[in-house]
Amino acid sequence: MNDLTILYYTANRLQPSIAKRIRDNLLEVARDIPIISISHEPIDFGHNVCVGKISYSTYSIYKQILIGAMCAHTEYVACCEDDALYPSDHFYCRPPKDTFGYNINKWWVNPTEFFYRPRINMIGCIVETVLMVEILSERFFRFPRVLGLDELHGWGEPGKEKHISGLKNPPISTFSTLQPIIAFNHSDSTGGKRRITRKHQTKSEIDGIGTASQVWRKFYGN
């Protein structure tokens, strides 16, 4: 596969042993796909771009994605987060031209259960590199400083959020892989630990992956 680059972005908040196990899993499923890692601290993972101690925020996440996309030399990029496990078939999916594609088959995992609520997230984004650079560059040109929580409206996933006046809002498409993306539900994530509500579907085991407790112990060790 020579038309895709993985953009792995991290704020280096996970325990090093946990982060390494998740990165090793990504290497296993990605195989020969090139990886650009964009991190707050230097890491030995693919081609690393260290951005230093920038703010821990949604604004910074999109900045890291943009920096990574600008370094990519492939037609497409895939966003990969530091607290998620990806199925190999995810990286074979391609959205229509000029469209942001999102894998909506994503389950969160706690120590004892998986839970699911249909959401479009950057965790499952695959898009043409030039479109990613165009859309995010526009945002940062318009908003060149770190945004506070009261200013984040419209800074969600491209195509999903309400249109920001004067900025291009791209079309989106969704897809669903046979096996899901698994995201760990923990307190050090940008949005904090997610609370399970009645809107979430829950299960203790996913076919082909195992039980939630098995997955949690394998990567978190407790």
pLDDT in tens, 139-187: 888 888 776 655 666 678 898 766 566 678 899 999 999 999 999 986 5
Let me know if residue 170 belongs to a domain: yes
Boundaries of domain holding 24: 4-104+120-179
pLDDT in tens, 82-131: 999 999 999 999 999 999 999 999 999 999 999 998 889 999 999 999 99
Tally of structural domains, the chain: 1
- Residue 37 and residue 26 in contact, taking contact as beta carbons nearer than 8 Å: no
Let me know if residue 91 belongs to a domain: yes
pTM of the model: 0.92
CATH at residue 40: 3.90.550
pLDDT at 188: 61
Contacts 24+ apart (CB under 8 A), 20-25: 21/218, 21/219, 22/82, 22/83, 22/84, 22/85, 22/219, 23/82, 25/85, 25/86, 25/219
Let me know if residue 59 belongs to a domain: yes
Let me know if residue 53 belongs to a domain: yes
Let me know if residue 187 belongs to a domain: no
